[in-house]
Every structure is written in structure tokens, then in C-alpha cells.
Chains A and B, each alone.
Chain A
């Protein structure tokens, strides 16, 4: 499959701070590639370097097999970007905004009209075409932001945290839209610090921290990198140290923790772990309430690799 994005040894420094540290990436045509990492991990800087919006200190970026630089209009014409901050003009209406940004790529008026109308339908802004951005809600504004980035039907679309501060309904609509764009043939790069979104959307994921990719693969491949097979949480009002040590003796259990009336048990695989734990608690006459069992998340992967919580950083 054709390589659409190839980044070799990319380094970007801001004075003493190394924002991107010898980063390597390869993204194939048709992928939905996720860049997952906490705020400040270098995702947006990587995107800016990729688009030649920021000069980088070292390395090389190739898009569609060509070296990317600010004057490479051929490559630029194949890219659409949806930036983290809503990038539209307050003085133009919804229709005018989309038409304006589309006109930067498509000169033919008739074709542009069709593309703009299609983009408006795609994001569901048909009723708001004459509205100015100030009159739109946060969710609608995000949809306008997306329409401005995709109206010209780019082959590669970069979404830089497009769902920040968006209500759940609009978020779902945005995610469905991205999947649809991918089905239509676009290669997608999706940056986020929301692991659920990345898990739901992306075919391959790179986890970033401190400007480096700490792990790359499909979500299944990434989850296999952690020894956690299952995390079981049990509401327990009281448990002795001896009983807690007993839980740790159960087959496949490798870590236990008791805090705030919650017993957290981590297992490294195996079957019927919940059953074995509950049997032990019954036998030991430990009272318990609700029970939750979770398969490993990308947060667990991030935690195991970097020693810190992705979720906490993302707050």
C-alpha cells in the first residue's frame, strides 16, 4: 500500500524545550491513524511540521512521496486540515466561509459550488448557511470548522483535536463523519488526548509522550504490550491485610490495591478471573457490593510505558 506520510528523525526545538524528539512515522493510504498523547506531548507541533507551518530543526517529512516544504503547492492541494482552534472568519457567513476556503484549492466556480453544497450537507449545516459564526453554538461551529477543512475533497485529512469542548451529540456526529470520509477514500490523521475516541476511530495508533512515539500499532497490538489482561474492581467496605494478600495469591492476579472501599485487582490474562476472586471473598467472609471488570485500555498501555496516567494529563 502507498505510503502517504513518512517522517524521518524529526526534531523541533523551542529554545531549550524539545517539542518533537527524533520522531519517525509512516502512514499508509486509507488508514485512520491516531496520534494519542497528553497535552504538550508534541502532537500539534508534529502536525505543524508536517504541513511546513513550522520550520523544524532536523529530519525530513515526505507527503505523497514528495519532500514537503512551504512552496510544495502540489502536495498542499491534496491535504485538508481541521485545526484544534476553530479557524473561520467572523465576518463571513457559513456558506461564504466554506466557499472561501474551498476557493483556495478549487478555482472552477461550478465545481466549487457543488463541493461547498456537499460539504454543507455532510456536516448538517443546511439550515445555517446564512448564519455568521457568532450565531452558531459550539458544536455547530466545530462542524463548520470541519466543513472548511474538507470541502475540497482532500486525499489526506488531518484532524487536530477536533472534538475539544464539544457536546457528546456533536462529538458522535463528528466521529461518524470522519469514518464516512475514510470510507470515501481519504487517509485520516487524527490527534487527540481522548483515548476512547482514538480507540473507536483509528486503525493504527501512535502513542506520543515528550515529543517521541512511545508505541505504534493497532489497538490490539498496543494492548498486547501491557501485561494487564483484565482489571477487576470490587466494592469492599472492609478487608484485612491478610485477606488482601490472599487475593494476590489467586492464579493470574499480579497486583492488588485497596483504596476508598474499592478493591482493584489486576490480572495478566486467564479465564474466569472474576469468578475466582468472588469465590475467595466468599470463602474469606469478606462482604462485597458491586463488581466491575474492564479489559485493558490505551491508558493502561500509556501508564505502563510512561509511568503516568494519560487521563490525568488530559484533564
Chain B
């Protein structure tokens, strides 16, 4: 326990770690807030969602009329523009529409960003596809307006469910990407731990290793302290976002804290992996950690939100495995989309990442020891 407490004190008092894990994300969040302040403060009210429909030869003829029939109170759900593919993509790029619905046998969607409006488009399209037979029949019988009215009620429920408790801040994903960055920067604590277990890396390592310490309990205490600090830093950032910057994170519930715990563990495990893999110099370790974390966050939309959509269109597997994207998506699915299935999927993937990094670190150490043994034998 003494060992754990001292470890905690040391990590908490370390200025480099404090800068990267707390000061840097707080400063960036404050700058973001200053830059996007008006956008994030805007009161949210439902607005008709502009979409473009690009129809092909085998189009579903009822889709456009169905979308135009749907109403949210007095307002139409969608304002639909029928156009060609190039024009639709241009409108999407200029952010004049929220989605492109491709209607050519299959119905597919293209978005420029992730958000509440996009979620509603997706939910309603999914619902349409599931009930297409019934809608087609209603169109033949001339009862489409009646069926559409029934669907409107159902969609109102969907929308209310989406709106209730969900974040309506269109810029929230930037801040979620910042949280992802802060989580990955928790690797600093993991790196510091590995440095003190490597003879010749830092002076104190030799002193610690010459003491009668059991390796397993030392590593457990080190990991526990690093995790505690990293998780405390997550709580501090969330508190800063919600209480100081007044960001709309939706209804914060217990799952957010579960997610924070897994993200913190991922950061620490990532640090251990880098620390075990790179044993040349502290600078190199930090450079690799910061560089890869930044790149991961860039792919998750830290600099530009549309990048995840572009990746989704060109190489979706990156979005399924990039840790920062998974962290952002876990927040998105929990706080914006209210999609627990997707949330759990993200957490599971992050859990797998944690396992890979932990076992990877052990593997690297074991391999290094064996190489040393073989070298000696040779």
C-alpha cells in the first residue's frame, strides 16, 4: 500500500505527465470552446433535415414521396432534393445537405459527419427498409398518406428518444476526440512505469531492482497507480467540460464512467507497450507515443470531423480498429446516438485492444529475455 501511495504521489506530481494528460487537453478544449462558442451555445430545436436523393435505374419509386410525407409536428422531416451523384456530393461537401440517399435497388447513405440529424436519417431509412413491402402495398392501394401518418407517429417516438438526453451540441465530437487524445496520452504513465523497471534507463531503476521486491506485486501496484491517476484525470476533464465549459454531453450516466475506465486502461496499456517495445531513449519513447496518439486522434476527427466519414467510405476497417475512433464512437453512441449496441461494440473492441497491448508487452519482454539467453548460449 505504501508503495502504491508513493507511486500515486509521484505520478500526480510529475510535470511532464501533468502537462500532456491535463494541461494540454484542457487548453485545447478551452481554445475549441472559444472558437466554436456560439455554435455550441445555440439552443437546439428541430429543423427540417435537408437530404439529397440520387436515383438510379432500379430506383424505389415510393421512397421520395414517402420521405416528403413525413412530418414532425407542423414541420416536414425532410426537405428532399432529387439530383445526380456529383451534385449531391457537392451539396454534401458544402454542408447544404446532411445526407445523400442513394436509391438504386439498394438504398445506401452517405454522411459528411456524425450527429443527431444523421442518426435520425439513418434510423428512418432503416425503418423504411424494414417496412418497405407494407409501404409499397399502401402506395398501390392509394393509402400511402394514412400509412405515412402512422409511421410519422413511430418516427416521432424515435426522434423523441434520440433527442431525450442526447447531446445536441454539433461540435461535441471535437471534444470527444480531445477526450480520446487525453486517454491515449495516459500512456505517459505506463511509459514511466516501464522506465523504472529497466536497468540503465533511469538511475532509480537499478535501486528499485536491487531491492527485495516481488516483480508481480510491483507491476500490479504500478499499473493500479497509473490507472488511478489516469482515471482521475478523465473525471477532471469531464467535470471541466460539463461544469466549466458547459458542454452538452447529454444525460451523463454510469456507462460514461465505465467507458472512461476502459479508455484509461487502454492509455496505460498503450504506454506499457511502447515502453517495453522501445528501450533506446526516453525521448524516442515519448516521440513515438505522442506521434501515434496524435495520428490516431487525427483519424478520429480531432482536426476535421469529416475525415471519419471519408475513411468510412474508402477504408471502413480503419474506423473499426483505430483506438481513438473507437473511443470517440463510444462517446457518440452513448451521448449522441443513444445506441447501446454500438456503444458495447466499441467497448468490446477497446477491451480487445487492451488485451493485445498487455499481452504484447509481456510478449516483447519475454522475447527480449529469450534473445539474450540465446545470445549467451551462442
Indicate whether A51 reaches chain B with its CB closer than 8 angstroms. Answer: yes
- Closest residue of chain A to B11 (Cβ to Cβ) is A91
Complex CA distance for A148 and B214, rounded to whole angstroms: 19
Q: Cβ of B10 and Cβ of A91 under 8 Å apart? A: yes
Q: What sequence of 0s and 1s flags, for each residue 193-223 of chain B, a beta carbon within 8 Å of any chain A beta carbon?
A: 0000001000110111111111000000000
Complex CA distance for A101 and B6, rounded to whole angstroms: 10
CB distance from B282 to the nearest CB of A (A): 13
- Closest residue of chain A to B17 (Cβ to Cβ) is A91
Complex CA distance for A79 and B209, rounded to whole angstroms: 12
Complex CA distance for A103 and B218, rounded to whole angstroms: 13
Q: Cβ of B206 and Cβ of A73 under 8 Å apart? A: no
Given contacts A55-B372, A92-B6, A103-B2, contact A87 B203 (CB under 8 A): yes
Which of B9, B10, B208, B210 gathers most chain A CB within 10 Å?
A: B210
When the two chains form the complex, which single residue of B9, B14, B206, B376 contacts A83, counting CB atoms closer than 8 Å? B206
A residues near B207, Cβ cutoff 8 Å: 81, 83, 87, 101, 148-149
Indicate whether A85 reaches chain B with its CB closer than 8 angstroms. Answer: yes
Number of residues of chain B lying within 8 A (CB) of chain A: 22
Number of residues of chain A lying within 8 A (CB) of chain B: 32
Q: Cβ of B203 and Cβ of A83 under 8 Å apart? A: yes
Q: Cβ of B203 and Cβ of A55 under 8 Å apart? A: no
A residues near B213, Cβ cutoff 8 Å: 73, 104
Q: Is the interface of B mostly helix, strand, loop or mixed?
A: helix
Complex CA distance for A107 and B213, rounded to whole angstroms: 12
Q: Cβ of B6 and Cβ of A103 under 8 Å apart? A: yes
Q: Is the interface of A mostly helix, strand, loop or mixed?
A: loop
- Closest residue of chain B to A107 (Cβ to Cβ) is B2
Given contacts A77-B212, A85-B203, contact A104 B3 (CB under 8 A): yes
- Closest residue of chain B to A15 (Cβ to Cβ) is B375
CB distance from B53 to the nearest CB of A (A): 61
Complex CA distance for A87 and B209, rounded to whole angstroms: 12
Indicate whether A88 reaches chain B with its CB closer than 8 angstroms. Answer: yes
Q: Cβ of B209 and Cβ of A91 under 8 Å apart? A: no
Indicate whether A288 reaches chain B with its CB closer than 8 angstroms. Answer: no
CB distance from A259 to the nearest CB of B (A): 42
A residues near B214, Cβ cutoff 8 Å: 73
Indicate whether A252 reaches chain B with its CB closer than 8 angstroms. Answer: no
Indicate whether A70 reaches chain B with its CB closer than 8 angstroms. Answer: yes
B residues near A100, Cβ cutoff 8 Å: 2-3, 6
CB distance from B253 to the nearest CB of A (A): 36
Complex CA distance for A165 and B9, rounded to whole angstroms: 30
Q: Cβ of B6 and Cβ of A54 under 8 Å apart? A: no
Indicate whether B94 reaches chain A with its CB closer than 8 angstroms. Answer: no
CB distance from A156 to the nearest CB of B (A): 11
B residues near A104, Cβ cutoff 8 Å: 3, 208, 211-213
- Closest residue of chain B to A100 (Cβ to Cβ) is B6
> Nearest 7 CB-CB pairs, A to B?
A73-B212, A104-B211, A91-B13, A87-B203, A76-B212, A85-B203, A87-B207
CB-defined A-B contacts under 8 Å, sample of 22: A51-B209, A53-B199, A53-B209, A53-B210, A73-B212, A73-B213, A74-B212, A76-B211, A81-B210, A83-B207, A91-B9, A91-B13, A91-B14, A99-B6, A100-B3, A100-B6, A101-B211, A103-B3, A103-B6, A104-B211, A105-B211, A149-B207
Residues of A within 8 A of B (CB): 48, 51, 53-55, 57, 70, 73-74, 76-77, 79, 81, 83, 85-89, 91-92, 96, 99-101, 103-105, 107, 109, 148-149
